[in-house]
Amino acid sequence: MGKVLREGECKMRKVLIISSSPRKDGNSDMLCHEFAAAAREAGAAVEEVALRDLAISPCRACYDCWSTQRCVLRDDMAPLLEKITAADVLCVATPVYFGLPCGQLKVMVDRLLPRWQGLGGKDVYLIVTGHDGRAGLAHAADDLRLVFENLGDTVCGVVWGEHVWQKGEVAGTAAVALAWLMAKGAVPVVGMTKPHHVDGAVEACGFALTDEECAYLEEPYVPHALVGVMAENR
């Protein structure tokens, strides 16, 4: 589990948010915006990227990059790879298509090859959206977890945009609050009515908060103006 980020610490962090949905302003984008708003509010340097705005061709498996560290394809992946390399925190969002991450994201992942040995040590947050419940979205999340763990990153949390299909359906669901909290490095304590709630709580046992972190969490709540999706839907 990622460390709770105090504001001063967060200012030092570069957060790159990658939405892979081909649908602008859909559920994946909305949760990305919420994550971005919370990370910005916490003082991080945040950049949001949508893969649909970039031209990224599939890897040709020529392996030239193994000797040159550069891809022979001259498209938008080279600048994106620089951004990914520079980021301390990655937030990667995918709609679930036929139970898997969408193809646009897989194409991008394959193009990480020129730097695959230099992309470790990042905190990664995943956003998965779909009309299924969590069980139906889990395979896509597991696939992405495998990718980033193999690169040497830590997957700190998953935002489940479950039971959503039409544009905007995710607004007002618990996933929005979760995206916000995770950008701040925290997870909520949920009422346990289902087995996966128990699994989530067990996961939380795998990390310890420092005294400083506890003190930060226990500071009195100071109300602030609504931002992101919450502000737009007032």
Ligand X SMILES: Cc1cc2nc3c(=O)[nH]c(=O)nc-3n(C[C@H](O)[C@H](O)[C@H](O)COP(=O)(O)O)c2cc1C
Does position 98 bind ligand X by CB under 6 A? Answer: yes
Q: In this structure, are residues 38 and 180 in contact, taking their beta carbons and an 8 Å threshold?
A: yes
User: Which CB atom, from 92 or from 137, has the smaller least distance to ligand X?
Assistant: 137
User: Which CB atom, from 52 or from 70, has the smaller least distance to ligand X?
Assistant: 52
Q: Which residues contact 202 (CB under 8 A, 6 or more apart)?
A: none
Does position 99 bind ligand X by CB under 6 A? Answer: yes
Which of 12, 70, 120, 165 is the binder for ligand X (CB under 6 A)?
165
Does position 116 bind ligand X by CB under 6 A? Answer: no
Q: In this structure, are residues 124 and 155 in contact, taking their beta carbons and an 8 Å threshold?
A: yes
Residue with tokens 């980020």: 5
Min. distance of Cβ 97 from ligand X in angstroms?
Answer: 4
Residue with tokens 């226990």: 218
Please say whether the dihedral angle defined by the alpha carbons of residues 143, 144, 147 and 150, taken in this order, is positive or negative.
negative
The DSSP annotation for 61-101 comes to ---THHHHSS-S--STHHHHHHHHHH-SEEEEEEEEETTEE
- Residues making up the chain, counted from first to last: 234
User: Which CB atom, from 23 or from 70, has the smaller least distance to ligand X?
Assistant: 23
- Interface with ligand X (CB under 6 A), residue total 20
| Interface with ligand X in residues 9-28 (CB under 6 A) | 21, 23, 26-28
User: Which CB atom, from 130 or from 185, has the smaller least distance to ligand X?
Assistant: 130
Does position 103 bind ligand X by CB under 6 A? Answer: no
Min. distance of Cβ 164 from ligand X in angstroms?
Answer: 5
Tokens of 26: 């859909």
Does position 130 bind ligand X by CB under 6 A? Answer: yes
User: Which CB atom, from 30 or from 187, has the smaller least distance to ligand X?
Assistant: 30
- Distance, in Å, from the CA atom of 186 to the CA atom of 213, rounded to the nearest integer, reads 11
User: Which CB atom, from 51 or from 81, has the smaller least distance to ligand X?
Assistant: 51
**Contact residues: ligand X, CB under 6 A:** 21, 23, 26-29, 95-99, 129-132, 136-137, 164-165, 167
